[in-house]
Every structure is written in C-alpha cells, then in structure tokens.
Structure 1
Amino acid sequence: MDIPWGMLALAWGAGLCIPLGGVIAQLERSHESHVKHSWLAGITALGGGILLAAVSLVLVPHAMQALSVWPLLGLFLLGAIGFMQVDRWLARGSGAKGQLLAMLMDFIPEAIALGALASASPAAAMLMALFIAAQNLPEGFNAYRELEGAGLSARQGLGAFLLLSLLGPLAALSGHLWLADAPGVLGGLMAFAAGGILYLIFQDIAPQVRVVHHWSPPLGATVGFMVGMLGDRLVG
C-alpha cells in the first residue's frame, strides 16, 4: 500500500493549529480588564462563527448530497442528543468543555473528508486543509482557556493538544482507505457531527460571547462565518 504522505502532512499541519492556538492563549497573560474580556469574547465568537460555517457550508451540504431526508434528519438529531448527553456528563464532573468537544467534532469528520478527497481532487483536499487550519486556530485558543479554567496545567493542556493534532492524519488516512468509495457513510458521519456541533454552539459557546454594554464580540461570529464562506468558495 502506498502511503499518501502529502495528504497526511496536510492533515497534521491543520491539526497543529490546535496546539498553536493553545500556545497563543498560554502566552496571552495580560491583566484582566473589560477590554480583555471583550477581546476574549470576540475570539470565542470567531470560533463559534467558523463552527457555524462548517455546519452550514461543509458538513450539512455534504450530508444532504449523500443521504435521503429521513436518515439525514435522524443522524442530525442523534448527534445533538448524543453530545447533549456527553456535555451533561462533563458538566457533572469538571465542568462543560463545549469548545473542545465542538472542535473535535468539527476536526475529525473534516479530516476524514480530506482523506476521502485526496485521490479524486488533490486541490480540493489542500484547500480543505487550509479551511480546517483556519478553524482550529481560534478553536484551539478558546479550548485551551476553557481547559485552563478547569485546572489543567500548561504542560498538560499543550501536551494534550499536541496528541489531539495526531488525530488529523489518522482520520485522513481512514477516510482515504475506507470512505473514498462510501459517500453514504461519510455523509452520515457529517450529519451526526453537524447536529452535535450545532447543539454545542448554542449550549456552551454562544452564551460566553455576550459582554454587557459591548457590541463588538458578536462581530467575531460574523467574521468567523465569513472565513467559512471564503473556505467554501475556495473549496467549491
């Protein structure tokens, strides 16, 4: 079997934006202030906007092409219910980690799709990798701060993120080997992920965005969605 090293490098490069976002969050150590709080809310909104773009422009359209209406709706709802249960379980333990869950739910199926695209359209796979990287950077930043608030040390958080980045090439390789000729399975995976991400956006991410008497953070969601629109146009 010929290993597609270029595809694996693209997937890992996109995944390394997760620990890179964590490094940026770890280096950002200015004193708490209203301006800083608004800026962090904007970064959270940016990640939420990109996730919303991934749902509406990448995951759902692909699932709609591959599935009939009832499997599509069923898997979408199953994703939302499944990750509601995971979120509730985490909330009973060390606190909800919605940004981390949403990031992984976004990263893994899109990396699988990258692998599935690699043979048929290398250019589309490369643009998909750039799109994933653009998502992972703010999501890694937000998820690191979320885990830091739960008590993880910098070494633990960044080490975990570095390990998570390896999921990119593993997912891409699995998509390349097993799902390139199985659009229905890939579409089902994307529908499930989309439902879960949408639940997490409105349950755990969007509530962190609002800052009293400050109206700029929601613009982060707008810019994030614009990044997704640009990525969709480039990939399409």
Structure 2
Amino acid sequence: MEMQRIAVIDYGMGNLRSVSKAIEHVAENAEVVVSSDAAVIESADRVVCPGQGAAKDCMAALQHSGLSQTILNIAGTRPFLGICMGYQVLLTHSEENGGVACLNVVPGEVTRFAEPLQDAGSRLKVPHMGWSEVRHAREHALWAGIENASRFYFAHSYYCVPEDIGAVAGTCHYGHDIAVAVAAPNLFACQFHPEKSARDGLQLLKNFASWDGR
C-alpha cells in the first residue's frame, strides 16, 4: 500500500504539535508533515487546517502567508479537515473583531454567543469551554465507530451558522442548538478539538485518514 501524505497547515495560529501527534498516532501508513509551504500542502493526499485565536489574526496570517489561496485551491479537491478556527475561517464572514471577511468556502456567518447566555433558567459561561455532547445531524464516514451524542472538547466564544442546513453534519446544544460540524464533498470541519477529545476524537481522526472524500 502506497504511503500517503497528510499535511497539517502551519499558518502560525494553531496547536500544531498536538494535532500532528494525534494524527500520527492513528494514521497507519501515513507521513504527517506540518508545513507552511504551499507546494508541500498542495501535493499532499489529505490536508488538515487547525487553528485557534481570533478571526482577524487568523485571516491576516492566512493572507500574509498566501495560504488562504492554497486552502481555496485544495478545498473540495481532496479530503480536507478544518478544526476549531480552521472551521470558522471557511465561512463567509465573522462578527469577531468588528467584522472579518473569511474564505467563503462554506457560505454562512460566524456569530458570538449571546451574553448572558441562558438555558433552562441557568446561566451558561461564554466562552463555551469543556466537554459537550455532539449529535449526528446526518450519517457521515467520519462518524464511523462514534456513538451519537458522544462528548467532545470545545473552547470557543463564536459559533458557525451555515446558510445550507443540509451541510450540517453535527450539532451541540449550548443555550440553543449550534452547528458544530459541516460536511461537503472532500470537506469536513468541526468546532470541537478532536485531538483533545480522547477516544472518540482519535477515532474521528483515524476515520479522516482513510476517508475517500465522499
């Protein structure tokens, strides 16, 4: 079986070591490379875009490095996984930092949780940090071996509202239902951190490493 290459995009805004180590742990017969080189990323069989921090900083880093165009070139052409801010930057626009134009790969808006955020009379903290149940909105290869309503680790103050409800692959209830995973041909993106989500997170990364993109 031919060795595949999985590229983790390094644009200076992500927990790259924990993501790459988690993928190395589960991806048999794969070379995992962390790179900011567009040629290396575009030659990979699979691509992962992690990220953390503020939308304005992430988009500025992507644009300064030229990697925003790289993502536009490859999204939809091979299996692509966006994680946390690597999910949010795929949408059209974020309300964060007074408003930031994003990549518009997945049409929709990134909006801040209301404050105070209430649920059943209780006040919820913003940011949403910690473990929450994720419900499968539809069947997907990346959910294989992961039970519906399994718990994943989150850390975010803004959430994604995709225009196409059919793109939503997973939801979480935090004050209200939010879209925490989206899917399209060759693309899956999630708000939670699979690399910090124990067995089920590793299973999702393992599924990604063998996903055919459909």
Structures share fold, TM-score greater than 0.5:
no
TM-score by structure 1 length?
0.24
Which of the two has higher C-alpha Rg?
A: 1
* Larger helix percent: 1
Relative to its length, the structure with more strand (as a share) is 2
How does the TM-score come out when normalised to structure 2?
0.26
